[in-house]
Chain A
Amino acid sequence: MSGADNSGMIKAIDFSSKDHYRTKAFPSPFFTRQQAVNELQEWGRWADYLSPRAYYCSSMEYFAARNASAVFDLTPMSKYRISGPDALPCLNRLVTRQVEKIKPGRVGYCVWCTDAGQVIDDGTIFHLSEGEYRLCSQERHLDWLLTNTVGFDVTVSDETHMVAALALQGPTSCATLKAMGLEGVENMKPFDIEYFPFEESQLMVSRTGFTGDLGYELWVEPRYAEALWDRLFEAGKLRGIQAMGDEALAMLRVEAGFIQAGHDFMPAHATVRTTHTRSPFELGLSWLVDFDKPVFNGRKALLEEQARGHRYNLVKLDIDGNKPANDSFVYTTGKKLIGTVTSAIWSPSAKASIALASVKTPHGQSGEEFLVEIYYQKELKWSRVMARARVVSDVFFTPPRRRQTPPADF
């Protein structure tokens, strides 16, 4: 953990003292600013940090991300620095995709598996500079990463608390960054990384996010966190910038069709019931599995699975009616139980009831129709509806601005 600094500004959290137990959840480096705009004072917890569930209204915060721009604090996300001469081969062994395709200054989505080909977690690899990588994920993986370094000339370190990060997502996000003085930011393509001078340090910007929209993620040393927040909100003031909590992000990511550990799959290292894990194929991530690579964790098991057939399909469902299908069972139209919904919302942008669901194979082909059992209540009276649902292959909401370079100002 980083040491003290004399500037009086927020520094990285430190729990090297035995007294850490007195703080159950630590303030993020952005805490003072978050607290000032957190009208609800509803703090949830994310890993070691306090994380606002919503600042004033999760629905309005959601619309800020789709209509203007919204700021989300992603500091608590696990971040590992992987460097050394063997960083590339080590990562190539770890994840299922070709890591050499992630050039310096680029970000790649990836998934990694146990020897048995079961998903441990998904995340993003940031190729910070030649041979220097950062792996970001929801779960913690120091033990697994160190286990994977055996035989490689590579160092792994946990830099979760050394990097403060904000996501700026939405149609006015690029204009806001331009107004902040980030020259040339409009030329960044999706998954690009650029560095900009910031205070006496530098700001790393990646064109990434968890919303499926135009958006950026901003990475700084924790001591510049407050300055970053202030400059961002100053620049975005006339462009509808809002702070956004966990609840709004949860809606955005389902619309984008992004999966989340603990919701849409169980991380294999934490799964007691061995059949409850999933392979990448069973999560719709076959495009991330590259058998052209001669060696990677789980390759043999995944080849066998490919020959044998998969057990599940993770599908996107477009469900009739307006009731969110949370925790619903999924049936064939002949009422045979074949799976469960893993994430569901009413999508304010797609104007549809949408869901991700895990269903048994061979079900889950595009266009296939299911019935989804939804329980809902109106003024305390509970009812049940068997809503018709269709498997769709396209993401529920994917605006052209997501990929447009340079992006428009709104």
Chain B
Amino acid sequence: MRPYTDQESDDSRQLNLESGQKALTLKKYDAIVIGAGHNGLTNAAFLAKAGLDVLLIEKNTYIGGATVSLEVHKGWMYSNCSYVCSLLRPEVYRGLELAKYGLQVVPYGGNVTLSQNGDYYGSYIDPDVSRREMARLSPRDADAKVRYDRDIMRQCRFIRQFMLHTAPDPTSFKPRDMMEMFQMGKALLKLGEDVIYDMMRFYTMSISEYLDEYFEHPLIKAAKAGSGIIGSAMGVMSPGTAYVLLHHAMGDVDGNIGAWGFARGGMGAIAKAMDDCFQDHGGETMTGSGVEQILVKNGKVTGVALENGNEYHADVVVSNMTFPRTFLECMDAKDLEPEFIRKVKNFKIRGSSGKLNIALDSLPNFTALENNPELIKGDMHLIDSVERLERAYDDWKDGSWSKDPYIDMLIPSLTDPTMTPPGKHFMSVFVQYVPPKIHGKDWTDTQRDEFGQTVINQIETYAPGFKDRILHVEIRTPRELEDEVGLTQGNIFQGELTMDQLLFNRPIPGYAQYRGPAKGLYMCGSSNHPGGGVMAAPGANAAREILRDLRKPNSVPEGWLDD
């Protein structure tokens, strides 16, 4: 499957802007969704399913946003932004019939953290093997993991209820909010005292402190600490990072909580299935020109003006762009109130990561793995202590990329035969920390390449001969993520997942229910509750709110049922 490449983007479903221009400017849509990332697609598809006439606008010539597969190197399909799937809400999967539209999510095996001394800590698919591996390093930690898993699962079960659900506003006296707060309180009390105490601690602790309460082995702690910082401009010792780990742990593949998988065909397969569903329900996807401005008249949205000069009208405009991009770049400041603008500017959306997408001529040979055929199929991490992770963050604070970075890399082509020619491989290398600017100045191409070299050199030390296998590298710093994908400062979650920006405070207080400051303006991106990670929950939640406002029958799935 090669549907999202530049050369093939002008297929029949793209609108011909030249000939269609006049008709389109005259036509008024029920809703316009800006940004064909997975949340925009989810939102548009649910609105179209509900019978609305929906236009989905994408600035790039391809859809997907950061949920994309691109043939950057001929014959290789890169998941060149997001690269693994776990959090995608199963209710959205079913609600949009993504299986029918060709999406298949395949679980991958385990993970491994490589140590500088040539050892590693692996996590295997087989739970007994996994436990023995842990016992190999620390018999005590292997037993403590039972308690750790239990406590993480307790927090997951609570928070999962609120994912596919609009966050209630605790200050509101609307019956709906009060009822929701009551339900939330009830769910909280049901957890029992210990879990409530733990929750307060969990949301405020650092991942490093949290892990110290369970484990003793440095490599085991390092392996678990990584998911506490992914996508966050925080260190493993920063308060609040324990929650980020939870965000990564609450997904599932086929009910296996915490499991991660590959979308067959790369992450773009998710976007493609969503887009096929959207178009099947009469939606129009228009690629190739971004929104110049969201049009507002007398406090009401009227439509959008594109960069190519076209205007499209609708009483409902939904932005899947980041919170700052929507209001600071695509709206006239005169249409907004000053305090609101100040809060948008203060929204914490600091970029912290970069990515290398690498085409490999052959499979790299990691010295420590000794050709372990199981672990090389999983998530591989290069950093072996919490202290090294914290030092990596120091470089970010200093305004530069980590010289000894945290690397989360996968070789999807070992699992997914559609990514590369047989025997060749695609390697997805997520890197942290990478700042949005270098010492306050914009990235240069030279610096980008130096950053790429740092990462490649790091991998080479664990896998001698790695460099010789490289056919092509795509290096993406926060600059590329912002310029190409539209992620402000290159933050992969469209805003950091810290307590001050979660639930009824995401993106900012008073605007957590997907409604923007102008009538008819909505927000459906990951800047909104419950945040990023290819969950599709913000897109679905926003669609539910829009249909509620339009008094349309609501078919958007909600909540999460499990006892």
Q: Which residues of A contact B (CB under 8 A)?
A: 15-16, 18-21, 24-25, 45, 47-48, 116, 139-144, 146, 158, 267, 269-275
Q: B120 contacts A142, CB within 8 Å?
A: no
A21 and B135 contacting across the interface, CB-CB below 8 Å:
no
How many Å lie between the Cα of A24 and that of B370 in the bound state?
Answer: 18
Number of chain B residues whose Cβ lies closer than 8 Å to a Cβ of chain A: 33
- Which of B22-30, B125-133, B380-388, B478-486 touches A? B125-133
Known: A24-B129, A269-B147. A158 touches B139 (CB 8 A): yes
Contact check, A20 vs B154: say whether CB atoms are below 8 A apart: no
Would you call A48 and B128 a contact (CB within 8 A)? yes
Check B129 against A21 for contact (C-beta < 8 Å): yes
B483 → chain A closest CB, angstroms: 43
Q: Which of A24, A267, A274, A275 contacts B128 (CB 8 A)?
A: A24
* Contact segment of B189-197, B290-298, B306-314: B189-197
Contact partner of A270 (CB less than 8 A), chosen from B133, B135, B142, B150, is B150
B33 to chain A, nearest CB (A): 38
Contact B143 A141 (CB under 8 A): yes
- Knowing A15-B136, A142-B139, the reply to whether A25 touches B128 (Cβ < 8 A) is yes
Complex Cα distance A405/B140, Å?
42
Residues of A within 8 A of B122 (CB): 21
Q: Is B144 an interface residue (CB 8 A)?
A: yes
Query: Are the C-beta atoms of B129 and A142 separated by less than 8 Å?
Result: no
- A146 CA / B215 CA spacing, docked (Å): 13
Closest Cβ–Cβ distance, residue B556 to chain A (whole Å): 29
Interfacial chain A residues near B139, Cβ < 8 Å: 142, 158
B143 partner, pick from A48, A140, A271, A275, beta carbons under 8 A: A140
Known A-B contacts A18-B119, A21-B122, A275-B192; A143 and B140 likewise in contact (beta carbons under 8 Å): yes
Contact A20 B132 (CB under 8 A): yes
Residue A47 contacts which of B128, B143, B375 (CB distance < 8 angstroms)? B128
Name 17 A/B residue pairs within 8 A (Cβ), A-sorted. Answer: A15-B132, A19-B370, A21-B124, A24-B129, A48-B128, A140-B142, A140-B143, A142-B139, A144-B143, A269-B146, A269-B147, A270-B149, A270-B150, A272-B153, A272-B157, A274-B195, A275-B192
Closest Cβ of chain B to A47, distance in Å, is: 7
Instruction: List residues of chain B with CB within 8 A of the CB of A15.
Output: 132, 135-136
Asked whether any CB of chain A lies closer than 8 Å to the CB of B460, the reply is no
Closest to A78 in B: B143
- Distance to closest chain A CB from B380 (angstroms): 15
Q: Contacts A140-B143, A272-B153 known; list 5 others, CB within 8 Å.
A: A16-B136, A21-B372, A144-B143, A272-B154, A274-B191
Contacts of B150 in A (CB 8 A): 269-272
- Tell me which residues across on chain B come within 8 A of A48, comparing CB atoms: 128, 132
Closest CB of chain B to A155's CB: distance in Å? 13
Task: State the Cβ distance, A144 to closest chain B Cβ, in Å.
Answer: 7
- Asked if B91 is at the interface of the complex by the 8 Å CB criterion, the answer is no
- Nearest A residue (CB) for B368: A18
Which residues from A are CB-within-8-Å of B394?
Answer: none
7 closest cross-chain pairs (CB), A and B: A274-B192, A143-B143, A143-B144, A142-B143, A272-B153, A15-B132, A140-B143
B563 partner residues in chain A, CB cutoff 8 A: 273
Residues of chain B within 8 A of A144, CB atoms compared: 143
Closest residue of B by beta carbon distance from A15 = B132
Contacting A at CB under 8 A, from B143-183, are 143-144, 146-147, 149-150, 153-154, 157
Bound complex: CA A139 to CA B124 (Å): 20
Asked if B209 is at the interface (CB within 8 A of a chain A CB), the reply is: no
Q: With A and B bound together, what is the CA distance between A64 and B154 in angstroms?
A: 45
Q: How far is the CA of A142 from the CA of B142 in the complex (A)?
A: 9
At the interface, yes or no: B374 with Cβ under 8 Å from chain A? yes
A15 to B134, CA, bound (A): 10
Q: Decide if A18 touches B370 in the complex (CB within 8 Å).
A: yes
Tell me the residues in window 98-126 of chain B with beta carbons closer than 8 Å to chain A beta carbons.
Answer: 119-120, 122, 124, 126
Please give the distance in Å from B110's CB to the nearest CB on chain A: 10
Establish whether residues B146 and A270, one from each chain, have CB atoms under 8 Å apart when the complex forms. Answer: yes
Shortest C-beta distance, A315 to chain B (Å), equals 24
Nearest CB of A to B343, in Å: 38
- Complex CA gap A275/B563 in Å reads 12
Collect the chain B residues with CB atoms within 8 Å of residue A24's CB.
126, 128-129
| Known interface pairs A15-B132, A18-B119, A21-B129; A143-B147 also in contact (CB < 8 Å) | yes
- Distance of A198 from chain B, by nearest CB (Å): 29
Instruction: With both chains docked as a complex, state the minimum distance between the C-beta of B208 and any C-beta of chain A, in angstroms.
Output: 19
Inter-chain CA distance A261–B146, complex, in Å, is: 14
The docked-state distance in angstroms from the alpha carbon of A204 to that of B382 is 48
- Closest chain A residue to B192, Cβ basis: A274
Residue of chain B at shortest CB distance from A156:
B140
Closest to A140 in B: B143
A262 to chain B, nearest CB (A): 12
A146 and B140 form a contact (CB under 8 A): yes
Q: Which residues of chain A come closer than 8 Å to B194, judged between CB atoms?
A: 116, 274
Cβ contacts under 8 Å, A146 to chain B: 140
Task: Give min CB distance, A140 to chain B, whole Å.
Answer: 5
Q: Which B residue sits closest to A146, measured CB to CB?
A: B140
Which residue among A16, A25, A116, A140 has the maximum number of chain B CB atoms within 10 Å of its CB? Answer: A140
Q: What's the Cα separation between A146 and B140 when bound, in Å?
A: 8
Distance from B196 Cβ to chain A, minimum over Cβ atoms (Å):
10
- Tell me the bound Cα distance from A272 to B146 in angstroms: 10
Residues on the A chain within 8 Å of B154, using CB: 272, 274
- Contact pick for B136, options A18, A116, A142, CB 8 Å: A18
**B133 & A20 in contact (Cβ 8 Å cutoff):** yes
CB of B51 to closest CB in A, whole Å? 41
Report A-chain residues with C-beta under 8 Å of the C-beta of B135. Answer: 15
B320-352 interface code vs A (CB 8 A; 1 in, 0 out): 000000000000000000000000000000000
Contact of A45 among B124, B128, B140, B195 (CB under 8 A): B128
Q: A143 contacts which chain B residues (CB < 8 A)?
A: 140-141, 143-144, 146-147
Q: How far is the CA of A272 from the CA of B562 in the complex (A)?
A: 13
Q: CA–CA, A18 to B143, complex, Å? A: 19
For A47, the closest partner residue in chain B by CB is: B128
Nearest to B563 among chain A residues (CB) is A273
Tell me the residues in window 405-453 of chain B with beta carbons closer than 8 Å to chain A beta carbons: none
Q: Decide: A142 near B133, CB < 8 A? Known: A24-B126, A269-B150, A272-B153.
A: no
B129 touches A20 (CB 8 A): yes
B230-249 toward A: CB 8 Å interface, digit per residue (1/0)? Answer: 00000000000000000000
**Cβ–Cβ < 8 Å partners of A19 in chain B:** 370
In the complex, chain B residues whose CB is within 8 Å of the CB of A269: 146-147, 150
- Bound-complex Cα distance A48 to B130 (A): 11
Contact B133 A21 (CB under 8 A): yes
The distance in angstroms between the C-alpha atoms of A74 and B119, with both chains bound, is 33
On chain B, the residues within 8 Å of A16 by CB distance are 136
Contacts of A45 in B (CB 8 A): 128
Cβ of B384 to closest chain A Cβ, rounded Å:
15
Residues of B within 8 A of A142 (CB): 139-140, 142-143
Per the bound structure, the CA–CA distance linking A19 and B143 in Å amounts to 21
Q: Chain B residues near A141 (CB, 8 Å)?
A: 143
Contacts of A20 in B (CB 8 A): 129, 132-133, 136
Q: Which residue of B lies closest to A275 (CB)?
A: B192
Q: Which residues from chain A contact B128 at a C-beta distance below 8 Å?
A: 24-25, 45, 47-48
With the chains together, A292 CA to B41 CA distance in Å? 67
> Please, which residues of chain A bring their CB within 8 A of the CB of B142?
140, 142
Please measure, in the bound complex, the distance between the C-alpha atom of A116 and the C-alpha atom of B135, giving whole angstroms: 28
Most chain B C-beta atoms within 10 Å of own C-beta, residue among A45, A267, A271, A273: A273
How close is B214's CB to chain A, nearest CB, in angstroms? Answer: 9
Residues of B within 8 A of A21 (CB): 122, 124, 126, 129, 132-133, 372, 374-375
- Chain B nearest CB: distance from A238 CB in Å? 39
In the bound complex, CA of A144 to CA of B143 (Å)? 8
**Bound Cα distance from A270 to B154, whole angstroms:** 11
